[in-house]
């Protein structure tokens, strides 16, 4: 546990959930409502891939296999995004952290700035519903990782074996909040807001 030297001033939320759960949609709404900076690992990766940077080519290689990008690459990239927006009211981390190593790195990085993660808010949706959603999204998104059910199932396997461990990490700090992720966009935003208002 990292000790803080000052009172935290920012609201830092980790938005959590498996692929296709609607994190991106909710993050955009919450960003407006609470005036936070939305840092989406996926968006950052896609920016690098589109611009064919060294990091982009590396990320593409892992993503094409349906695997997660290695921690050290992701951590370096996310730190740079936080530094760019250091005067903000706080951050919504979407798609990060994904491993306990990343979570510890984020805690340490924020503690150096006198800040904390206020809470992890997780959208919980049954896997079969999400597989259907992703295949449907794949018809229009142009993302090859959304068009192959085997790759989609592999992403869920990655999620459950590597990422669900984070639930225990944040629960140990009394910072884990799971909500029902099935419903209208508005209903889900209201459920998320009830938790965020009290963090």
21 is known to lie in a ligand binding site: yes
Assess contact for 49 and 142: CB atoms under 8 A.
no
82 annotated as ligand-binding: no
Question: Per the annotation, does 23 bind a ligand?
Answer: yes
Find tokens 């993050």 and name the residue.
27
Residue 161 annotated as part of some ligand binding site: no
Is 42 annotated to bind ligand? no
109 annotated ligand-binding residue = no
Cα 197 to Cα 34, 69, 157, 190: the distances in Å are 9, 32, 32, 10
**Residue 95 assigned to a binding site:** yes
**Which residues are known to be catalytic?**
23, 98, 137, 143, 155
Rounded CA-CA distance 171/110 in Å is 19
79: left (phi over 0), alpha (psi -120 to 50) or beta: alpha
181 is in an annotated binding site: no
Q: Which 3 state secondary structure label does DSSP give 169?
A: helix
The length of the chain is: 199
53 is in an annotated binding site: no
Q: DSSP characters for 32-100?
A: HHHT-EEEEHHHHHHHHHHTT-HHHHHHHHHHHTTPPPPHHHHHHHHHHHHHHTTTSSEEEEES---SH
17 assigned binding-site residue:
no
Is 41 flagged in the annotation as binding?
A: yes
Residue list, annotated binding site for ATP: 20-25, 137, 183
Known binding-site residues for AMP equal 41, 46, 67-69, 95-98, 102, 143, 155
Annotated binding site: 20-25, 41, 46, 67-69, 95-98, 102, 137, 143, 155, 183
């Amino acid at each position: 546990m990292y000790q803080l030297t000052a009172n935290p001033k920012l609201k830092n939320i980790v938005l959590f959930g498996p692929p296709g759960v609607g994190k991106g949609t909710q993050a955009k709404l919450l960003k407006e409502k609470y005036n936070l900076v939305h840092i989406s690992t996926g968006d950052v990766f896609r920016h690098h891939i589109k611009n064919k940077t060294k990091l982009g080519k590396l990320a593409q290689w892992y993503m094409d296999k349906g695997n997660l990008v290695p921690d050290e690459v992701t951590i370096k990239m996310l730190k740079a995004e936080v530094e760019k927006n250091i005067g903000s009211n706080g951050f919504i981390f979407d798609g990060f952290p994904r491993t306990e190593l990343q979570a510890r790195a984020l805690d340490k990085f924020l503690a150096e700035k006198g800040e904390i993660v206020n809470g992890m808010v997780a959208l919980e949706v049954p896997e079969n519903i999400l597989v259907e959603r992703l295949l449907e999204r794949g018809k229009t998104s142009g993302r090859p990782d959304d068009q192959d059910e085997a790759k989609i199932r592999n992403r869920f396997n990655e999620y459950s074996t590597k990422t669900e461990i984070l639930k225990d990490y944040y629960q140990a700090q009394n910072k884990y909040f799971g909500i029902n992720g099935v419903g209208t966009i508005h209903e889900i935003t209201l459920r998320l807001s009830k938790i965020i208002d009290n963090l």
